[in-house]
Amino acid sequence: MTRRPQRRPAGFTLLELLIALAITASTVALVFATYGVIGRTEQRAQDIIARTEHIQAVHNWLQRKLEGARLISRLEAGATLLFFNGNPAGALWVAPLPERGPGGGLHVIRVALDRHADGTVDWVAEALPYDGALMQLDWARAIRTPLAQGLRTLQWHYLDGKTGQWVQDWPSNRPYYPSRIRIEVADAQGAWPPLVFALARAR
């Protein structure tokens, strides 16, 4: 007798089903992983944009205030001192607030570090009205403007236009302002681009 060839059962074998399921699971996992990478990449991009915008806003704020710096002196203990002094952690000067428009007037501006009990360090600017005869500055009454939070390092540098040297201290008894200021900042996310300001001609 001639044997008829056996027909293969319709459908898939167990092995084929297992292989198909494995491929499907791998594909789904790959798709979700891809979406996860895309999501993290998008969030990272948004964080970078927000950080860049914040740094630019701080730069612009400081630039406006430093460009308006006035060469004003005060008499203290028989010595004539300028209303500008700086150290590695910050500076103090006199400038108009607001910069444009009616109202406002000259203010003493101080940009410094604010250290908290938990060890965190913030960067703040404070302003007090300048009345021309102010001797004691009550910073508890100052208008505060937060600049940055959670700083790791902060260094101010001042360029002496007469010597061409960068220094980290600018005493009040120096009869002129620095020609440039460079501020180096780092926070938990890393170092900022250096903030560099050219002071306008003091007046």
Closest CA to 86 of 179, 153, 151, 148: 179
pLDDT computed for residue 203 by the predictor: 42
Mean pLDDT, to the nearest integer, of 12-19? 65
pTM of the model: 0.73
Please indicate whether residue 83 or residue 112 has the higher confidence score (pLDDT). Answer: 112
Closest CA to 146 of 99, 114, 117, 105: 114
Please indicate whether residue 83 or residue 163 has the higher confidence score (pLDDT). Answer: 163
Mean pLDDT, to the nearest integer, of 161-177? 91
Mean pLDDT, to the nearest integer, of 147-163? 94
Please tell me which of 102-116, 130-144, 150-164 the model is most confident about, judged by mean pLDDT: 150-164
From residue 168, give the alpha-carbon distance in Å to each of 67, 90, 123, 157, 181: 20, 10, 18, 5, 10
pLDDT computed for residue 138 by the predictor: 85
Identity of the amino acid at 84: F
What's the mean pLDDT when you consider all of the chain? 82
**3-state class (DSSP) for residue 6:** coil
Please indicate whether residue 165 or residue 49 has the higher confidence score (pLDDT). Answer: 165
Mean pLDDT, to the nearest integer, of 154-173? 94
Is the four-CA dihedral 143, 148, 154, 156 of positive or negative sign?
Answer: negative
Mean pLDDT, to the nearest integer, of 84-111? 84
Mean pLDDT, to the nearest integer, of 125-146? 83
Q: How far apart are CA 106 and CA 101, in angstroms?
A: 13
- On the question of pLDDT at 12 being above 70, the answer is no
Task: Read off the pLDDT band of 202 (50, 70, 90).
Answer: very low
Mean pLDDT, to the nearest integer, of 9-23? 65
Task: Read off the pLDDT band of 131 (50, 70, 90).
Answer: confident
- 196-203: long-range contacts, CB 8 A cutoff, minimum separation 24: 197/62, 197/63, 197/66, 197/67, 199/66, 199/67, 199/69, 200/67, 200/68, 200/69, 202/69, 202/70, 202/71, 202/176, 202/177, 203/70, 203/71
pLDDT computed for residue 78 by the predictor: 72
Which of 102-111, 132-141, 150-159 has the weakest average pLDDT?
Answer: 132-141
Residues 6 or more apart whose CB falls under 8 angstroms from that of 169 comprise 86, 87, 88, 158
The answer to whether residues 97 and 128 touch, using CB atoms and an 8 Å cutoff, is no
pLDDT computed for residue 39 by the predictor: 65
Closest CA to 177 of 163, 159, 164: 159
